[in-house]
């Protein structure tokens, strides 16, 4: 998944992805389809178009041609055709937050504040986020991870962190859990059963891990850090505030790495969370 997402702008052949996974094309295709519930090609197309929808909403100054190329399409016409076929809306309609009778999702759900002239609400969101924003340069970090079984469901995330701590204790890693989470998908675009969430904690790089534990590396570089503390029900709004209000106003360019959550109090507890939402910035 990480390799595919890092290379969405390039031609992605099954043979190349299977080589990265160190298995044959036949076995990789079979295993990937069993784990993900969709073939590799369909996953690549879905991720490209989901990323394109988010870029259209959250980078309003980026030309559609640039977004098409960043998402692996060789021309605007091919991109627009594929995008409209999937979403029932054109790229311009999604960018404007407009829903039509053919739309398969509501583009307005990608925005905290509807697109248009500046509003008092948008300015209030900006002031609130800027007040607590930190920009940090961080080294790379290796995490031992488990994937949740039910996407972003809070109870499942809590269970997964508890399972992570038990498995690490058996492996000889004891003590309080330094909890990190990786949110791979936008719930406004991705079906609930396909949303992927990694629950992780720091380990030494390349430390042997017994399945189902696996290692993921957070890349070194600059990160924009947005603290959040409150009910889980307000988390999605916090993300939308950052992406659809702060990002266009800041002029920042985000790396393609997924958003990362670093929990202040170990893990979500009884429907409430306190964590830093971290977005990788392009240098």
| The pLDDT of residue 267 | 64
Q: What is the pTM of this model?
A: 0.89
Measured in residues, the chain has a length of 283
- The pLDDT-based confidence of 266 (bands split at 50, 70, 90) is low
Reported as a single tens digit per residue, the pLDDT across 211-264 is 899 999 999 999 999 999 999 889 999 999 999 999 999 989 898 788 999 998
Q: Domains for the chain: give ranges and CATH numbers.
A: 2-108 (1.10.10.60), 135-280 (3.20.80.10)
- Tell me: pLDDT of 60 over 80: yes
Reported as a single tens digit per residue, the pLDDT across 13-23 is 999 999 999 99
| The pLDDT of residue 193 | 79
- pLDDT exceeding 70 applies to what percent of the chain? 99
Whole-number CA gyration radius for the chain: 19
Alpha helices in 59-141 (DSSP H): 64-70, 76-87, 91-95, 120-132
65 vs 253, higher pLDDT: 65
Side-by-side strand order, sheet with 260-263 = 134-138, 221-231, 272-280, 260-263, 180-183, 197-202, 141-147, 214-218
In angstroms, rounded to a whole number, what is the distance separating the alpha carbons of residues 16 and 276? 35
DSSP bridge partners of 137: 222
- Tell me: pLDDT of 75 over 90: yes
Nearest Cα to 275, choosing from 241, 237, 230? 230
In angstroms, rounded to a whole number, what is the distance separating the alpha carbons of residues 128 and 246? 10
- The pLDDT-based confidence of 46 (bands split at 50, 70, 90) is very high
Which tokens is 49 given?
Answer: 């178009």
In angstroms, rounded to a whole number, what is the distance separating the alpha carbons of residues 82 and 90? 10
């Amino acid at each position: 998944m990480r390799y595919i997402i890092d290379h969405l702008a390039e031609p992605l052949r099954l043979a190349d992805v299977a080589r990265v996974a160190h298995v044959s094309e036949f076995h990789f295709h079979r295993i990937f389809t069993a784990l993900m519930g969709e073939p590799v090609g369909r996953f690549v197309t879905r991720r490209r178009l989901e990323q394109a929808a988010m870029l259209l909403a959250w980078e309003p100054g980026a030309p559609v041609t640039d977004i098409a190329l960043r998402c692996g399409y060789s021309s605007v016409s091919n991109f627009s055709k594929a995008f409209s076929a999937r979403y029932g809306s054109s790229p311009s309609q999604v960018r404007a937050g407009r829903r039509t009778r053919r739309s398969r999702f509501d583009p307005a759900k990608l925005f905290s504040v509807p697109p248009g002239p500046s509003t008092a609400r948008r300015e209030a969101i900006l002031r609130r986020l800027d007040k607590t924003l930190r920009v940090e340069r961080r080294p790379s970090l290796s995490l031992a991870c488990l994937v949740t079984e039910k996407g972003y469901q809070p109870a499942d995330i809590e269970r997964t962190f508890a399972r992570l701590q038990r498995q690490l204790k058996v492996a000889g890693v004891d003590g309080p859990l330094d909890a990190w989470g990786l949110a791979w998908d936008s719930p406004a675009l991705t079906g609930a059963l396909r949303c992927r969430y990694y629950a992780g904690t720091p380990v030494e790089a390349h430390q042997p891990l017994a399945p189902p534990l696996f290692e993921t590396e957070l890349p070194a570089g600059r990160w924009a850090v947005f603290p959040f503390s409150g009910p889980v029900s307000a988390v999605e709004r916090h993300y939308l505030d950052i992406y659809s209000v702060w990002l266009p106003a800041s002029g920042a360019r985000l790396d393609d790495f997924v958003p990362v959550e670093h929990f202040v109090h170990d893990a979500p507890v009884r429907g409430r969370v306190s964590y830093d939402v971290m977005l990788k910035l392009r240098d």
